[in-house]
């Protein structure tokens, strides 16, 4: 499987840092927060509004330990600051607790309390399909794969970038309840559309007699 280009979104956060325990926790992605996004696709700019539906990151909640916490969006071993011990769906957004790597506790604490007081999530959209956004559309992300979370300089949530991170595995792509619900909703919409088109076609058969 080829490397997959991931979306990156920077989000100002107020992480609660426990220096003694070497942990930090806070909201990683807010739910239902429409945000203007501008992305470059080749020579063109695509502008759309994006929001995340609740439970869209169920995959991450099932296996939080696989999600690394990094310095910037670097995949270099030396820039790994820790990993997640807990990720859960809360009313206000996706919440997570980070455990800093033993040798990086001081560096990680200094980063998230001074120069890098924002986080940036690297993710791939599953529903809707990645990079299917149309200019001027409103996109509700119902299912996504969280690849990593990075400490970055404080910035706006709408910081839109694409990065190539790693290969996806079959485990990454395993269906969640959010995928199933989204597929059912799309199928229902398609059934209604098909019925409407059938009625239009049926009406056209009478045109020669009118």
* Core vs surface per residue 146-160: b (16+ CB within 10 A) or e: bbbbbbbeeeebebb
Question: What tens digit of pLDDT does each residue of 66-113 get?
Answer: 999 998 888 888 889 999 999 999 999 999 999 999 888 888 888 888
DSSP H or E stretch at residue 153: none
- Give the per-residue pLDDT at 71: 87
- Euclidean distance between CA atoms 86 and 73, whole angstroms: 21
- Give the per-residue pLDDT at 210: 58
- Give the per-residue pLDDT at 19: 83
Nearest CA-CA partner of 55 in 158, 159, 210, 177: 177
- Give the per-residue pLDDT at 179: 64
- Give the per-residue pLDDT at 39: 85
- Give the per-residue pLDDT at 66: 92
For the cut 70, the answer to whether the pLDDT of residue 173 exceeds it is: no
- Give the per-residue pLDDT at 103: 87
Per DSSP, the chain holds a count of helices (H) and strands (E) of: 3, 12
Nearest CA-CA partner of 2 in 144, 168, 173, 128: 168
- Give the per-residue pLDDT at 52: 94
Domain edges within the chain: 5-174
What contacts 32, CB < 8 A, 6 or more positions away? Answer: 51, 52, 53, 54
Question: What tens digit of pLDDT does each residue of 6-43 get?
Answer: 888 888 777 898 888 999 999 999 999 998 888 888 88
Report the mean per-residue pLDDT for the chain: 81
The more confident residue out of 168 and 109 is 109
Cβ atoms of 70 and 80 within 8 Å: the answer is: yes
Q: What are phi and psi of 38, to 5 degrees?
A: -130, 120
- Give the per-residue pLDDT at 137: 96
- Give the per-residue pLDDT at 4: 60
- Give the pLDDT band of residue 163 (cuts 50, 70, 90): very low
- Give the per-residue pLDDT at 43: 85
Q: 113: which DSSP letter?
A: H
- Give the per-residue pLDDT at 85: 96
For the cut 70, the answer to whether the pLDDT of residue 197 exceeds it is: no
- Euclidean distance between CA atoms 157 and 144, whole angstroms: 17
Task: Identify which of 91-105, 151-165, 176-190 has the greatest average pLDDT.
Answer: 91-105
- Give the pLDDT band of residue 169 (cuts 50, 70, 90): low
| Joined tokens for residue 176 | 């969640």
- Give the per-residue pLDDT at 156: 43
How would you list the strands of the sheet with 143-152, edge to edge?
Answer: 16-18, 23-30, 93-100, 80-89, 68-71, 143-152, 118-127, 5-12, 159-164
Residues composing the chain = 210
């Amino acid at each position: 499987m080829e490397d997959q280009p991931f979306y990156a979104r920077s989000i100002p956060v107020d992480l609660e840092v426990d220096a003694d325990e070497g942990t930090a926790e806070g909201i990683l992605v807010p739910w239902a927060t429409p945000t203007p996004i501008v992305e470059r696709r080749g020579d063109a700019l695509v502008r759309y509004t994006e929001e995340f539906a609740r439970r869209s990151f169920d995959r991450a909640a099932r296996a939080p330990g696989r999600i690394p916490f990094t310095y910037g969006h670097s995949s270099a071993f030396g820039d790994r600051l820790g990993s997640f011990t807990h990720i859960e769906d809360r009313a206000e957004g996706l919440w997570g607790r980070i455990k800093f790597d033993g040798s990086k506790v001081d560096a990680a604490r200094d980063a998230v309390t001074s120069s890098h007081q924002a986080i940036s999530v690297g993710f791939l959209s599953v529903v809707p399909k990645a990079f299917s956004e149309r200019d001027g559309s409103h996109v509700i992300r119902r299912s996504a794969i969280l690849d990593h979370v990075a400490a970055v300089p404080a910035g706006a949530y709408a910081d839109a970038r694409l990065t190539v991170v790693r290969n996806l595995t079959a485990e990454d792509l395993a269906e969640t309840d959010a995928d199933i619900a989204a597929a059912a909703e799309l199928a229902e919409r398609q059934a209604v559309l098909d019925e409407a088109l059938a009625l239009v076609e049926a009406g056209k058969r009478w045109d020669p007699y009118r």
